[in-house]
């Protein structure tokens, strides 16, 4: 059995309930429980591409759906929802409205999550549609159950928001980082760009697309590629570009997995959480893989919490790094792909 999250372990305390059920997993599914649960059928909808890839490696590809919203036919074939509560309540509201609007009335609804994630608010949120009762509490998690009595109306357009920044319209959706305004880390990163840019720029973990949009406005000649694993982020980035008449390629990519070619600059405000838990893997992969995605002379420029252990990794990969800016919480790191490092890389490949 794979390593399971505490929430999944709570579900397994009730595994007999699901034997004759057509189960739909959704929400913040972070492990391989869908591949191990004994049920009549199992499907998964996820907004996280890296989770999708991990599950498709173990399941029938048609049983795992990735995207901003779940498909009607995909959901209607199920009679039981197993929803893993995310740390972002607005994202839970969006996803549950989508899923409950498609499930057949009478379907079982289970909601599970860590107590510190705010899962208790599921009772109030779902009261008009599927009144919930707490049926278990273990591993600092709560498990709730109800039956769908009334399907909610779901209008995805009503969940869009926007804010203005430097003459730009930034489009946002629930669950997207910096949804309500520019975060202080990204602000510090942008402050380091005081000269016009040229060439090809990749924004890894693009979120709302605000970093790329600001740089494109300041330097209209740049060619943008924006990548993220989070479906709402990709939708928001595309909408931000369109709202401001900017051109760029938005791709679903697990760090570099689908990023095309090499770039003159890679920028990022990389995440260091996966759900409720600290996870530096994406940022470390960003740094480790940068040389193979930068042209000689190209640079990686990232912002990160000052306490995170990136300086040593930058030095081991690039040979050196520079701190361009810092404040009480964040540092902006720059590392340049030098010709010597290119030769070292070629030597290692040989």
Q: Tell me if the domain spanning 160-337 has CATH number 3.40.50.150.
A: yes
- The more confidently predicted of residues 25 and 276 is 25
- What pLDDT does residue 156 have? 96
In the chain, the percentage of residues whose pLDDT exceeds 90 is 87
Residue limits of CATH 3.40.50.150 in the chain? 6-156, 160-337
In sequence order, the 6+-apart residues with CB closer than 8 A to the CB of 220 are none
**In the predicted structure, residue 348 carries a pLDDT above the cut 60:** no
- What pLDDT does residue 279 have? 56
Task: Give the 3-state secondary structure of the chain.
Answer: CCCCCHHHHHHHCCHHHHCCCEEEEEECCCCCHHHHCCCCEEEEEECEHHHHHHHHCCCCHHHEEECCCCCHHHHHCCCEEEEECCCCHHHHHHHHHHHHCCCCCCCEEEEEEEHHHCHHHHHHHHCCCCCCEEEEEECCEEEEEEECCCCCCCCHHHHCEEEEECCEEEEECCCCCCCCCCCHHHHHHHHCCCCCCCCEEEEECCCCCHHHHHHHHHCCCCEEEEEECEHHHHHHHHHHHHHCCCCCEEEECCCCCCCCCCEEEEEECCCCEECCEECCHHHHHHHHCHHHHEEEEEEEEEEEECCCCHHHHHHHHHCCCEEEEECCCEEEEEEECCHHHHHHHHHHHC
Digit-coded pLDDT (tens) for 138-167: 999 999 999 999 999 999 999 999 999 999
Gap between the Cα atoms of 331 and 334, Å rounded: 10
- What pLDDT does residue 64 have? 98
Q: What residues pair up with 209 in beta bridges, in sequence order?
A: none
Backbone angles phi, psi at 289, to 5 degrees: -90, 0
Gap between the Cα atoms of 283 and 280, Å rounded: 5
Mean pLDDT to the nearest integer, 46-66:
95
Domain 6-156's class?
alpha beta
Contact 108, 81 (CB under 8 A): yes
- What pLDDT does residue 341 have? 66
Angle between helices 281-288 and 310-318 (to 10 degrees): 20
Mean pLDDT to the nearest integer, 211-236:
96
Q: Which two tokens stand for residue 212?
A: 């790329």
Gap between the Cα atoms of 60 and 74, Å rounded: 14
**In the predicted structure, residue 290 carries a pLDDT above the cut 50:** yes
- What pLDDT does residue 276 have? 46
Q: Which two tokens stand for residue 40?
A: 């009549």
- What pLDDT does residue 277 have? 47
- What pLDDT does residue 235 have? 98
In the chain, the percentage of residues whose pLDDT exceeds 70 is 94
- What pLDDT does residue 343 have? 59
Mean pLDDT to the nearest integer, 51-73:
96
Contact 64, 58 (CB under 8 A): no
Q: Which two tokens stand for residue 17?
A: 């309930």
Instruction: Give the CA dihedral 139, 282, 205, 336, nearest 10 degrees.
Output: 150
Q: Which two tokens stand for residue 251?
A: 């791709």
Question: How does residue 181 score in pLDDT terms, banded at 50, 70 and 90?
Answer: confident
- What pLDDT does residue 13 have? 96
**In the predicted structure, residue 178 carries a pLDDT above the cut 90:** no
Digit-coded pLDDT (tens) for 265-288: 999 998 764 544 445 788 899 999
Gap between the Cα atoms of 342 and 350, Å rounded: 12
- What pLDDT does residue 273 have? 44
Mean pLDDT to the nearest integer, 215-238:
96
Mean pLDDT to the nearest integer, 47-65:
95
**In the predicted structure, residue 186 carries a pLDDT above the cut 50:** yes
**In the predicted structure, residue 344 carries a pLDDT above the cut 70:** no
Digit-coded pLDDT (tens) for 291-331: 999 999 999 999 998 888 899 999 999 999 999 999 989 99
**In the predicted structure, residue 342 carries a pLDDT above the cut 70:** no
Backbone angles phi, psi at 31, to 5 degrees: -135, -165
**Global pTM?**
0.92
Q: Which two tokens stand for residue 222?
A: 């740049």
């Amino acid at each position: 059995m794979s390593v399971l999250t505490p929430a999944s372990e709570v579900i397994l305390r009730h595994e007999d309930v699901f034997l004759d059920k057509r189960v739909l997993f959704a929400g913040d599914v972070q492990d391989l429980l869908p591949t191990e649960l004994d049920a009549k059928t199992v499907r998964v909808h996820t907004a996280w591409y890296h989770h999708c890839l991990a599950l498709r490696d173990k399941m029938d590809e048609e049983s795992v759906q990735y995207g901003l919203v779940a498909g009607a036919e995909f959901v209607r074939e199920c009679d039981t929802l197993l929803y893993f509560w995310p740390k972002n309540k607005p994202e839970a509201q969006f996803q549950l409205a989508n899923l409950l609007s498609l499930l057949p009335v009478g379907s079982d609804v289970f909601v599970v999550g860590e107590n510190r994630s705010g899962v208790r608010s599921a009772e109030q949120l779902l009261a008009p549609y599927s009144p919930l009762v707490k049926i278990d509490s273990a591993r600092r998690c709560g498990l709730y159950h109800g039956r769908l009595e009334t399907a909610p109306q779901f209008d995805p357009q009503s969940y869009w928001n926007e804010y203005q920044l430097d003459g730009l319209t930034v489009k946002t959706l629930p669950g997207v980082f910096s949804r309500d305004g520019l975060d202080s880390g990204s602000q510090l990163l942008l402050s380091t760009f005081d000269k016009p840019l040229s060439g090809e720029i990749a924004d890894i973990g693009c979120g709302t697309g605000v970093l790329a949009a600001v740089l494109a406005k300041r330097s209209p000649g740049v060619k943008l590629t924006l990548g993220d694993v989070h479906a709402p982020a990709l939708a928001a980035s595309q909408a931000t570009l369109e709202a401001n008449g900017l051109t760029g390629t938005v791709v679903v990519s697990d760090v570099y997995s689908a990023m095309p070619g090499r770039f003159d600059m890679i920028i990022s405000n990389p995440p260091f959480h996966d759900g409720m838990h600290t996870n530096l893997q994406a940022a470390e992969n960003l740094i480790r893989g940068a040389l193979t995605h930068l042209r000689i002379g190209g640079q990686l420029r990232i912002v990160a919490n000052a306490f995170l252990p990136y300086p040593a990794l930058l030095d081991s990969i690039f040979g050196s790094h520079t701190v361009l800016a810092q404040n009480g919480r964040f540092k902006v790191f720059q590392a340049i792909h030098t010709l010597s490092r290119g030769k070292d890389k070629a030597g290692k490949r040989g």
